[in-house]
A and B are shown apart, each in its own frame.
Chain A
């Protein structure tokens, strides 16, 4: 409604400072958070288009479904723990405490690294089982989608490592609060993306 109201105002009729002395900002959020939301939409478009391509390519006759290794369930568990630890860190930092913050935040990142290692191990197992990238489009999509997801996680880990260094060198909770909140949001997003990808890969 407010958006509708905004675009239907007649700017030539009203003069003066609209909204009193409060500066304009479309969202009541920091610019970093707004930028991250935009980025999440961009990343969603990327993953959606890959998924649509997956379904279109699947219809063609040379497609041989890949039975996903059971290890993916274990890897999924690692990513869920990682996301949960980030949420824990976020809750600590929002309530203004400091205790356990380092454990939760750094632990979250470590579990994400373990997830990536787990994905690499799965890749290795598939390779040794003869499921090469070029053998079938289903294999190619598997490597492509899991790889792309891991690359997004690595991007998050870069930000995580910078904040971790700040935390370990004695930064206060309030100094890294925004960073921790945004990391948490990003991790939850990547967990959802992974769950969707996992569901798509397992059911086809």
Chain B
């Protein structure tokens, strides 16, 4: 069968427009609706994760001030917070939410390549969330084994949720992986095969590159978690000994014998480390586009940015054992992983330089998405630098399992991606809703979140240096931790409560805008990339009206010398390029025209 390129088939493709409300908003195969479904489920789950963190912070800041927080609940809250935030919130929101919304629009396609599979993906994701949440209601509650779910303690009686909780967690993860694989196949194939005329891979916005490489990482890294989850389910339910060693529980030997907990750790981190970049790479991509658009400058070093994304993606598969320095590994093994870990700092630092250089001498518009994007550069540099500490074996050993680690990973893969998420939501909100959010409220939301995040995590680094261990329900009396550490803990908790509550501002802004907000003008940021060039705002089903766009340039033609506008959309042909007579071209006058 001769292959007919997809964009050539366009005229033959019949779009099945849904007519009923249910067809349009529930069983929808439109990537934009699915993106919002994915995003909403992820955000609701994220709110649960956030609430849990505030609860266990109450215990840490003001011990035993909340009646129902006993050690069991504390561990369950910590575990569920971690797993929800990393997997069900960040991964789902970046790939399922933004991936779904932006890929077809930025590629000039009508939809994802397999719309039915896409719909199946979001409903399977919902199923995984329901299974996860149901563990709150079974006897014994959810698992409290820590988000890494290390055996053998996951299945031991002392661990809360060691019977049903852990089983539901593992099943939920397996279902989530099925959902991600269905979505991931769609995103990858759409980017590779569904781009419109003229849109080469190197003309794609960095958002698509980030999401695309993260999708490939997800496709190849999640299987490791699946393999670990299946074997642990066998151990828990069927009594095998893949991971479970011979253990004595409350004086009674268990039926397991000879399993290797270390094998589980290798499998888990073979997934776990790429997972960091599954979250970070889309954030890198999205923030690049936000920075470039609002600085009215092309992204600095586009090619290097693409190479860096690919290099980071590749390297992320050979650094996993830096999470296991204290597991008693061979020194040469540790040396290898320390080296690869530090090498990954090179492409990452390159990206940071390029973001800063994009801002350099830009015509910066300081609006809410830009606030969040610049805030991200700060938090990411801080989180990244502490990564250099922990990547070295000798420094990691004393800092391992202290609050320094907690501070590091929250700065680098908690706060940083979340700031990008807000930047991206505010930036693309007019596209998604057709309405313009309230700028003042958004900026207030930024300052509370940004400064609050520092108030939470800067002191945690110090607590880590003092040697305060993470995961403890209560510290008790220790010689090496001064009593003032408790004051610091109380301060952190107050900051966390303020940051947590300030997120309400975001929701007020979203819902108020949806009801009463003013209509957004078309392409309000003057963006050059394709998603803003649709005939309707927000784009209708099928995105592009009667004809697919044709792309004539890259996505970053901002402030092109000689052009009378400070941006040239990707689908503007050279012949229609809005230029002024070069002899009479006055850059200053041109700039002021663009400003007005």
A and B form one complex: yes
Q: Are A53 and B199 in contact (CB under 8 A)?
A: no
- Write out the residue numbers on chain A whose beta carbons fall within 8 Å of the beta carbon of B53: none
A137 at the interface (CB under 8 A from B): yes
Name the distance in Å between A60's Cβ and chain B's nearest Cβ: 5
Contacts of A10 in B (CB 8 A): 303
> Contacting chain A: which of B5-13, B157-165, B488-496?
B5-13
Whether B192 contacts A23 by the Cβ 8 Å rule is no
In the complex, whether A31 has a CB less than 8 A from a CB of chain B is yes
The answer for the CA separation of A30 and B3 in the assembled complex, in Å, is 6
Interface size on A, residues (CB 8 A): 49
Asked if A170 is an interface residue, CB under 8 A from chain B, the answer is: no
Give complex CA distance A21, B240 in Å: 59
**Cα distance, A29 to B7, chains bound together (Å):** 13
Q: Which residues of B contact A162 (CB under 8 A)?
A: none
Q: Which of B189, B306, B551, B554 has the most CB of A within 10 A?
A: B189
- Inter-chain contact B227/A133, CB cutoff 8 Å: no
B201 near A26 (CB under 8 angstroms)?
yes
Q: Which residue on B lies nearest to A6, using beta carbons?
A: B201
Residue B343 at the A interface, CB < 8 A?
A: no
* CB proximity of B95 to chain A, nearest CB, Å: 15
Determine which of B196, B258, B263 lies in contact with A24 in the assembled complex, contact meaning CB atoms within 8 Å: B196
Q: In the bound complex, what is the Cα–Cα distance between A28 and B192 (angstroms)?
A: 10
Docked Cα-Cα span, A16 to B303, in Å, equals: 19
Given the known inter-chain contacts A35-B114, A53-B263, please indicate yes or no for A22 contacting B230, CB distance below 8 A: no
Across-interface contacts of B197 in A (CB, < 8 A): 17, 21-24
Q: How far is the CB of B448 from chain A (nearest CB, A)?
A: 39
Chain B nearest CB from A94 CB (Å) reads 9
The minimal Cβ–Cβ distance linking A63 to chain B, given in whole angstroms, is: 8
B223 touches A39 (CB 8 A): no
Task: Tell me whether B306 and A23 are in contact (CB under 8 A).
Answer: no
Q: A26-B192, A27-B193, A30-B3 are in contact. Are A137 and B220 (CB under 8 A)?
A: no
Question: Which chain B positions have C-beta within 8 A of A38?
Answer: 184-185, 188-189, 219
Give the complex CA separation of A39 and B303 in angstroms: 29
Q: How far is the CA of A24 from the CA of B230 in the complex (A)?
A: 40
Question: What sequence of 0s and 1s flags, for each residue 488-520 of chain B, a beta carbon within 8 Å of any chain A beta carbon?
Answer: 000000000000000000000000000000000
Say whether A7 faces chain B, with CB atoms less than 8 Å apart: yes
Assess the A137–B259 pair: CB atoms within 8 A: yes
A24→B303 contact, CB < 8 A: no
In the complex, A15→B550 CA distance in Å?
12
A28, B193: Cα distance in complex, Å: 9
Residues of A within 8 A of B (CB): 6-12, 15-19, 21-31, 34-35, 38-39, 41-42, 45-46, 49-50, 53, 56-57, 60-63, 133-134, 137, 140, 144, 148, 174, 177-178
Selected A-B contacts with CB under 8 Å, 14 pairs: A8-B303, A16-B198, A16-B573, A22-B5, A22-B197, A24-B200, A24-B201, A25-B192, A31-B113, A45-B224, A49-B224, A134-B238, A140-B234, A144-B231
Given contacts A38-B219, A53-B231, 7 further A-B contacts (CB under 8 A): A9-B202, A22-B5, A39-B185, A42-B223, A63-B258, A134-B240, A144-B231
